[in-house]
């Protein structure tokens, strides 16, 4: 730009500003970089000195007044974290949707009172703006990343909150707390933490409204039959009696709750905005007849030397969980929470990966007596069977053949990909109660570790819930996330098996339960079905402990998996237990 043109533009701006009264002329004409920097707003920071009592009280009042009036931008500027507090206050307004918020300053509060108020149902304190008796902040979760660290010598004040809602006379009253700090400009500000909004609110949590239901009058099976006489279901029934997750929308009320953003914890109820209608009977997907058979089967196995036993039955067409049984019934829920090596039941997934890699069921797949990959692996029988086919190795459960062929045909991480993309293993499951997801390690494992994974050892962990779902997926051709309540969301797997691979896999699993050499054929004697297949598993847990017995399989529209800890071979304990449930069948 020519110098004369530049001078003319500046002169025109100056003339315009002077015509308007001269405001701003100095900042445009005659300013330099040093003057501009000196006039820029200085960033406020928290100082170590505590604010005086009156300064703290006035700062808290100004903040509460602005929040009460809905001036959230103004309120956020009265904190040490304007950005984080504005986001949180806006979320409270948008998610809780109060018609009015009245906040009244209280007075000085003690750390003990704050600690008591922030202790939620679990007893853990939420994020704390308050100093402890020793002078350091109490509580656990951190405040917003952009907030200044709370100094020890802040001033803790309480306030009274009155929250009203449109369409109801129910008013939510609670006591809140703010920690006041002194800023570098000499003013007091609210030290921002989630607890400023509500004492129970912590980092990684959201306060919101959602439908709420009264506890059901009773819990029944899918056909309306009572479930109170099944010991394995006692803890599950208690969970649903305390509040069903879903129900008739016409019966729902509205409640203010704190939810865990990660979805791992149950929402914490804070206040009922609209009262729900009286409770009704609530149905689970459980089938009382199958539950009785499952409880009897695992109890019989437990009686043989106090061997912890667990079983899960699933309806493949829907993903509905039809039975959950544990022995001992009042102990750990091994069926849902167990995490142990599944042994050769894992070969269902390994076989799937090999079929997708192009291996034909009739292809020769030598079964040597042993194989060394760092660890020396053996079979449950001795001798070489070097002319075996892929199907024969699956039928008799040859470990060495699967390890050798897996090393030749599969890439690192391929087993984990098939487990996740086809069988949903690795996708977080939400069954309606707490469960532990199956684990298949991804790429990057050692050759020895990967070898073990092909036969369900190493770092692979499963439970009867996961392995029943694997069998259900083969039976139906589609992974359906197991659920205990009809209507719960069921996240699908990424893909389905091709019809060709699925047909071959079903044929191989049928051989296990019908072929004279099949490991489960003796246990399944007399059982038939239009669709019938399974896989035994024998899992080593240590060099000295007895092996765990596993079986997973399906008979028509019923998939069942059982584990008997210390039960020996899969055909010795788990398979006979599942056979008892297959005999009952899924009558609907």
**Residue ranges per structural domain of the chain:** 3-39, 53-203, 212-283, 289-584
The answer on pLDDT for 34 being more than 70 is no
Predicted pLDDT of residue 6: 36
Three-state secondary structure call for residue 507: helix
Residue-wise pLDDT for 183-214, tens only, equals: 999 999 999 999 999 999 999 999 999 998 88
Predicted TM-score of the model (pTM): 0.70
Domain 53-203 is of which CATH architecture?
Roll (3.10)
Note if the bond before 410 is cis, omega within 30 degrees.
Answer: no
Listing DSSP states for 190-214 in one string gives EEP-GGGT-TT--TTEEEEEEEE-P
Integer Cα distance of 177 and 379 in angstroms: 65
Tokens of 263: 């979805």
Contact 347, 402 (CB under 8 A): yes
Which of 39-53, 62-76, 272-286, 495-509 is least confident?
39-53
Residue-wise pLDDT for 388-401, tens only, equals: 999 999 999 999 99
Integer Cα distance of 60 and 550 in angstroms: 63
Query: Sign of the CA dihedral 355, 359, 360, 366?
Result: negative
pLDDT-derived band of residue 30, with 50, 70 and 90 as boundaries?
A: very low
Domain 289-584 is of which CATH architecture?
3-Layer(aba) Sandwich (3.40)
- CA angle in degrees (0–180, nearest 5) for 319-322-325: 125
Predicted pLDDT of residue 16: 36
Integer Cα distance of 15 and 25 in angstroms: 9
Tokens of 318: 């829907």
| In 322-372, alpha helices (H) | 334-337, 347-356
Contact 421, 427 (CB under 8 A): no
pLDDT-derived band of residue 243, with 50, 70 and 90 as boundaries?
A: low
Listing DSSP states for 35-91 in one string gives HHHHHSPPPP-B-SSPPPHHHHHHHHHHHHHHHHTT-HHHHHTTBS-HHHHHHHHHH
How do strand 282-283 and strand 219-220 relate by DSSP bridges?
Answer: parallel
Residue-wise pLDDT for 117-146, tens only, equals: 987 654 444 444 544 332 323 233 333 333
């Amino acid at each position: 730009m020519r110098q004369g043109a530049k001078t003319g533009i500046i002169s025109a701006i100056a003339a315009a500003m002077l015509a308007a009264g001269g405001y701003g002329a100095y900042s445009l004409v005659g300013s330099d970089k040093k003057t501009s920097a000196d006039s820029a707003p200085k960033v406020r920071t928290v100082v170590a000195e505590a604010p005086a009592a009156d300064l703290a009280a006035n700062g808290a009042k100004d903040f509460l007044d602005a929040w009460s009036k809905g001036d959230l931008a103004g309120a956020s500027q009265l904190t040490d974290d304007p950005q984080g507090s504005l986001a949180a206050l806006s979320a409270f307004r948008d998610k809780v949707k109060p018609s009015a918020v009245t906040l009244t300053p209280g007075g000085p509060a003690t750390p003990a009172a704050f600690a008591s108020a922030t202790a939620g149902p679990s007893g853990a304190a939420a994020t704390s703006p308050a100093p402890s008796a020793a002078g350091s902040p109490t509580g656990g979760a951190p405040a917003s990343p952009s907030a200044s660290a709370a100094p020890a010598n802040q001033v803790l004040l309480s306030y009274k909150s009155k929250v009203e809602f449109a369409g109801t006379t129910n008013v939510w009253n609670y006591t809140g707390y703010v920690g006041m700090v002194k800023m570098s400009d000499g003013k007091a500000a609210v030290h921002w933490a989630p607890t400023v909004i509500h004492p129970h609110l912590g980092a990684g949590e959201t306060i919101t409204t959602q439908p709420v239901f009264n506890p059901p009058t009773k819990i029944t099976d899918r056909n309306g039959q009572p479930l109170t006489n099944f010991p394995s279901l006692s803890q599950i029934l208690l969970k649903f009696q305390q509040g069903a997750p879903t129900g008739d929308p016409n019966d729902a009320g509205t409640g203010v709750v704190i939810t865990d953003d990660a979805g791992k914890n149950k929402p914490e109820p804070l206040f009922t905005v609209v009262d729900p209608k009286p409770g009704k009977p609530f149905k689970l997907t459980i089938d009382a007849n199958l539950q009785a058979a499952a409880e009897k089967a695992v109890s019989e196995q437990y009686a043989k030397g106090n061997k912890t036993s667990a079983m899960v039955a699933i309806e493949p067409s829907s993903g509905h969980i039809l039975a959950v049984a544990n022995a001992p019934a009042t102990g750990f829920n091994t069926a849902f929470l167990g995490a142990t090596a599944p042994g050769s039941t894992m070969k269902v997934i390994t076989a799937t990966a090999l079929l997708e890699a192009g291996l034909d069921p009739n292809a020769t797949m030598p079964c040597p007596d042993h194989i060394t990959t760092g660890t020396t692996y053996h079979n449950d029988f001795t001798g070489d069977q070097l002319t075996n086919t892929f199907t024969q190795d699956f039928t008799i459960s040859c470990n060495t053949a699967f390890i050798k062929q897996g090393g030749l045909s599969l890439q690192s991480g391929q087993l984990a990909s098939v487990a996740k993309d086809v069988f949903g293993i690795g996708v977080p499951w939400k069954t309606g109660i707490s469960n532990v997801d199956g684990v298949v390690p991804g790429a990057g494992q050692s050759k020895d570790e990967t070898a073990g994974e092909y036969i369900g050892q190493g770092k692979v962990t499963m439970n009867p819930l996961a392995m029943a779902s694997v069998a259900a997926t083969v039976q139906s051709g589609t992974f359906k996330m197991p659920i205990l309540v009809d209507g719960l969301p069921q996240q699908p797997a990424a893909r389905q098996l091709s019809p060709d691979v699925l047909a071959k896999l079903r044929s191989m699993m049928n051989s296990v339960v019908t072929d004279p050499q099949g490991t489960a054929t003796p246990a399944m004697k007399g059982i038939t079905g239009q669709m019938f297949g399974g896989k035994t598993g024998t899992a080593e847990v240590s060099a000295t402990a007895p092996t765990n017995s596993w079986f997973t399989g399906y008979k028509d529209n019923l998939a069942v998996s059982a584990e008997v800890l210390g039960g020996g071979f899969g055909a010795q304990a788990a398979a006979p237990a599942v056979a008892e449930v297959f005999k009952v069948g899924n009558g609907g």
